Structure 1
Amino acid sequence: MCRTLYIHGHTVLDFMVWCCAIEKAAGTDGNALQDQQLCKNNIPIIVNSCLAFVTQYGLGSKSLYLKSGNPLKVRELLEDFKKDARSIKLKVGKHQLEDVTDVLKYFLYEIDDALLTKELYPYWISALGNDTVF
């Protein structure tokens, strides 16, 4: 569902102030998970987009997360996601699989939060004690 919002200002300065505020709100405001732009399921859009791309185009690839992408393209794509994750549409041909997997790896490396929280630590350890093969 799309919605349209019209903003009317009396001067160009009014418009510029609103425009800057909207652009700032659209971007990422930090390195914590809570500061990221989230999708419907409260997953950071960058994670959701990268995993969807990998699921669609990379599941048949061997050593998928071991291959390195182009560092310049990876950094550029990571910065684009941080500016406005909702505007980034990953497309085969335009984006390489290795670049997308590196973006995901760098994002997860750079976030300030621990993915495996202290509260859940006992559950992770107990899961290791099972005879389940991972």
Structure 2
Amino acid sequence: MLATMTALADLFLNSTGRIGRIRFSAGAACLIGAWIAVDVFLRTPGWLHALIAAALLYSGFCVLSQRLHDRGRSGWWSGPILLAFALAWPQPMTLLGWIAVAGLAFVAVDLAILPGQKAFNRYGAAPGARHQSGATPV
């Protein structure tokens, strides 16, 4: 139980490291579902809505950053991605909104379908890779 809670906290509250496609897709689905629940179904006061939205945005930054790291990209790209999501939500009304939708479609294919880097990169080892070295532990 504690390991599961630690893994969830690491996924949603930590922007370092790398995650694979399945963990990214599951995390993104949870965040989008929570966003829909708060934005559409729950009638919360303005201050509570803003607090929940800020927490969901922070978690979105963390999940996106980890997946971008797995693809060998900087986590700073999560800012423009979330801005595009905000412009397109819930329905694009302007040309800029439709451009954001097109950009999000490209990003979704890139992050959810294409595999990450198999080798160690500047953000760490590949998700699920075991530490292999020739040295014997002391």
TM-score higher than 0.5: no
TM-score band by shorter chain is under 0.3
Specify which structure has the higher proportion of helix: 2
Report the TM-score, using the length of structure 2 for normalisation.
0.26
Structure with larger RCO (C-alpha < 8 A, sep 6+): 2
The structure having more radius of gyration, on CA atoms, is 1
